[in-house]
Amino acid sequence: MLTLTAAGAVGVSLSNSSAAPSAHRGADVTTNAKLDPLNNSAASGHAQVTISGSNLKVVLNARRLLKGMPHAEHIHFGPKARHECPSVRDDSNSDHRLNTAEGTPAYGPVRISLTTKGDTSPDSTLAVNRFPTAPKGRISYSRTIHVKPALAERIAAGKGVLVIHGIDYNHNGKYDFKGAGKSELDPSLPAEATDPVLCGRLQ
Ligand SMILES: [Cu+2]
């Protein structure tokens, strides 16, 4: 009986000491973003990112998007950015739409591409065949992504901004050049495919 108690005590002590260092490294941090429409879109959504060391578990739901077309989605961050969503004041050429570049002072450059598979780096910013296509106008996305520790820390500190792109300005059910011309990011794509539609700061 005494031996069992001692063994039990040792077991408890071991599990306590093994739990302590991981708590010291940092418990999981959960950030949330209410996704608000940009460019007079009717879309809405919510994102949650749970930071666990260098892993980010991203869960994202959005609705009232152009259906059946790819929607690029990213986490943006820049050390010099304002860590917020752009406003009409960011419409630097006063054309009454915010393109992705005009939003950069607010949310910074792309740091993570929320693709459905494969690479998630900024290299995949416009990987249109690996982004959700919003059947019925809805996106329901979940993926765990490994990132560099410094970036995970910045996002855990509430400095990441989640942006979803793709808006059908002329309501013809597709991305086309008649909506708003060429994309400032890639002239082979319509601006409708790359302009931001939803945005929220992860905090
Ligand atoms: Cu983006």
DSSP letters, 11-43, are HHHHHHHHHHHHHHH---EEEEEEEEE-TT---
118 is a domain residue: yes
Q: How far is the CA of 198 from the centre of ligand 1 (A)?
A: 10
73 is a domain residue: yes
Q: How far is the CA of 6 from the centre of ligand 1 (A)?
A: 57
Q: How far is the CA of 18 from the centre of ligand 1 (A)?
A: 40
- CATH number of the domain enclosing 159: 2.60.40
3-class DSSP assignment, residue 140:
strand
Q: How far is the CA of 29 from the centre of ligand 1 (A)?
A: 22
Residues 174 and 196: their CA atoms lie apart, in Å, by: 15
pLDDT value, residue 13? 38
Residues 142 and 62: their CA atoms lie apart, in Å, by: 12
Q: Are 134 and 67 in contact (CB under 8 A)?
A: yes
107 is a domain residue: yes
Q: How far is the CA of 55 from the centre of ligand 1 (A)?
A: 20
Name the residues around ion ligand 1, CB cutoff 5 A.
74, 163
Q: How many domains does the chain have?
A: 1
Q: How far is the CA of 27 from the centre of ligand 1 (A)?
A: 28
Instruction: List alpha helices for the chain, DSSP H.
Output: 2-25, 100-107, 149-156, 177-180, 191-194
Q: Which residues 6+ apart lie within 8 Å of 2 measured at CB?
A: none
Sign of CA dihedral 196, 194, 31, 109: negative
Could you give the count of Cα atoms lying within 13 Å of 156 in the half-sphere of its Cβ? 19
CB atoms within 10 A of CB 99: 24
21 is a domain residue: no
Residues 132 and 123: their CA atoms lie apart, in Å, by: 17
Q: Which residues 6+ apart lie within 8 Å of 89 measured at CB?
A: none
Q: How far is the CA of 156 from the centre of ligand 1 (A)?
A: 19
Q: How far is the CA of 100 from the centre of ligand 1 (A)?
A: 7
Q: How far is the CA of 144 from the centre of ligand 1 (A)?
A: 18
pLDDT value, residue 12? 38
pLDDT value, residue 26? 73
Q: How far is the CA of 180 from the centre of ligand 1 (A)?
A: 18
In which residue ranges of the chain is pLDDT below 70? 1-25
pLDDT tens digits along 121-133: 999 999 999 999 9
119 is a domain residue: yes
189 is a domain residue: yes
8 is a domain residue: no
Range of the domain at 182: 27-201
166 is a domain residue: yes
Percentage of residues in the chain having pLDDT higher than 70: 88
Question: In angstroms, how far is CA 126 from the centroid of its own chain?
Answer: 14
Residues 112 and 124: their CA atoms lie apart, in Å, by: 8
